[in-house]
Chain A
Amino acid sequence: MQDRPTAWELLDAVAELLEETIMPATEGGVRHQARVAANLCRIVQRELETGVQADRREAELLAAVLGGDAGADREPLGEAHELSQELHRRLLDGDESLEAEAWPALLEIVRAKLAIAKPGYDTYDYSGEDR
């Protein structure tokens, strides 16, 4: 076990430095980079909190669309990656019947990614724009 601070706590310290010290002391392009860097720290913090569960859920959803079960004993990230590759391949090959099933699963997966990368982005529902 590593000593405190934890990974999350260290990212918090770096983000705080960027937000409270570096950003006010810089301007223009450098300030923008500092803002982006701070935001990336926040993303990784959220990923540390819920990333593993999200990967596991993604693997389950993809496996269900592809007509199988997610291997419970497998490492979720690697499995999500592999299943995602398979779904990409089958969709590209023109398996149309898969599309209607894939859509809600992909939406749930993307919402989970946004909860980490950009919370709140999915509150706009695009009503009226899809035609």
Chain B
Amino acid sequence: MVRAGLQRFLSDRWGEVEVGEVRPASAGARRLNVLFDAVRDGETLELAATVMPTSAIQIVSIDIEASSLRLAEEAGVPVPHVHAVCTDNCYLGGPFFVSSRVPGISVGRQVLRLVGATPGLGARLGRQCGEALARLHAAPTEAAHPDLKRPEETGTVASSLARIYGELESLLQPSPTFTLAYKWLERHRPTDPPRLTLVHGDFRHGNLLVTVSGLEAVLDWEGAHLGDGLEDLAWICQRMWRFRSDELEVGGFANRSDLREGYEVGGGVWKDDAFLWWKVYGSLRWGIGLAKQSMQHLDRSFRSVIMAGSGRRVAEMEYDLLMLVRAGNAG
């Protein structure tokens, strides 16, 4: 069914096209990623499609996501090339875009196994991540989609804090640890970046395609927004992406110095205070997210044993937060 829809769409766009077998790549909770070959004028194109099941539940319109992808590509970030965007539900039942297919693996544990088996890959990957982010953060934001999420007039740091505050107050059960971390964030605000940058918003395992040569592509741009680039650098350094390789701060495969080196080589400006701030912010946001997942299970809006279990993972984020804010608190 997906195959017929893709064939009809691509033929409408490109003339006679033959679409081969369609294979699922990864099934996110909301979106479907499929891989397929298409033959046009005797030439085989290796393609992928990202499909939203219905337009009602999409977080970001597919137009905005495709626009961020194109902006990143122009800036020199490795990403799949977007061939076509379709907002008409008549082909696949929801909006989608078709892009080039990039080789590589993205599942965190698999990537760490590959890194373990390939000398030098971890540090190289760390530097490549830094460099890709430096390029992304240098992209001209005037070219960004007008509806791309951006901070309020009050600034990046202030609007991020305001969002967290609202969420703290909505939890079923208060967490004084989250509150302590929130107060730390209030008191340690870094200055806003001199200019807003395009931020990927979810730069971590699962969204990075990796081969023995290193970073091949950065995927999943639905969380892209304008803000402070240090947010991306701090996010990949969250402990939850390390899969027990805790000593390697960057995704369990590289040291912070590798990431920083790549970022600076790529022309990015690293700031220690903003890095730590965004790291605490990311842990707190994720911790609140876990608590909210269990709430969704309990109020029956998303009944699932996994969502229920998330409530018992809150303590992990509380521990990480206490460790991150210990300077000045632990005596």
Range, interface on chain A: 35 or more
Set of chain B residues within 8 Å of A110, measured between Cβ atoms: 177, 315, 318-319, 322
Q: Are A111 and B319 closer than 8 Å at their CB atoms?
A: yes
One of A1-9, A67-75, A123-131 contacting the partner: A123-131
Do the beta carbons of B175 and A88 come within 8 Å of each other? yes
Q: Which residues of B contact A100 (CB under 8 A)?
A: 328-329, 331
Q: Is A97 an interface residue (CB 8 A)?
A: no
Closest residue of B by beta carbon distance from A81: B173
Known A84-B176, A91-B180, A106-B318; judge A130-B305 contact (CB<8 A).
no
Interface residues of A: mostly helix, strand, loop or mixed? Answer: helix
Report the nearest B residue to A120, measured CB to CB.
B244
Interchain CB contact under 8 A, B316 and A121 = yes
Q: Is there a chain B Cβ closer than 8 Å to A104's Cβ? A: yes
Residue of A at shortest CB range from B329? A103
Size of B's binding interface in residues, CB under 8 A: 39
Q: Which of B309, B316, B330 contacts A103 (CB 8 A)?
A: B330
In Å, the complex CA distance between A89 and B319 comes to 20
Q: Are the C-beta atoms of A114 and B177 separated by less than 8 Å?
A: no
- Contact (Cβ within 8 A) B319 A114: yes
Which residues of chain A from 9 to 62 have any CB-CB distance to chain B below 8 Å in the complex? 29, 32-33, 36-37, 39-40, 43, 62
Does residue B174 face the partner (Cβ distance < 8 Å to A)? yes
- Contact (Cβ within 8 A) A106 B176: yes
**Given the complex of chains A and B, what is the CA–CA distance between A92 and B331 in angstroms?**
21
Query: Given known contacts A94-B183, A102-B176, is B319 in contact with A129 (CB within 8 Å)?
Result: no
Contact A99 B183 (CB under 8 A): yes
Chain A residues whose CB sits within 8 angstroms of the CB of B319 once the complex forms? 107, 110-111, 114, 121-122
Q: Are B239 and A106 in contact, CB atoms less than 8 angstroms apart?
A: no
Q: What are the residues of chain B within 8 A of A126 when measuring CB–CB?
A: 320, 323-324, 326
The chain A residues found within 8 Å of chain B, CB to CB, are 29, 32-33, 36-37, 39-40, 43, 62, 81, 84-85, 87-89, 91-92, 94, 96, 99-100, 102-104, 106-107, 109-111, 113-114, 117-118, 121-122, 124-126, 129-131
Point out residues on B near A: beta carbons under 8 Å.
27, 168, 173-177, 179-180, 182-183, 239, 246, 249, 272, 276, 279, 304-306, 308-309, 312-313, 315-316, 318-320, 322-331
Supply 17 A–B pairs (Cβ within 8 Å), ascending by A. Answer: A37-B305, A91-B176, A91-B179, A92-B179, A100-B329, A100-B331, A103-B325, A110-B315, A110-B318, A113-B318, A114-B316, A114-B319, A118-B315, A126-B326, A129-B324, A131-B272, A131-B276
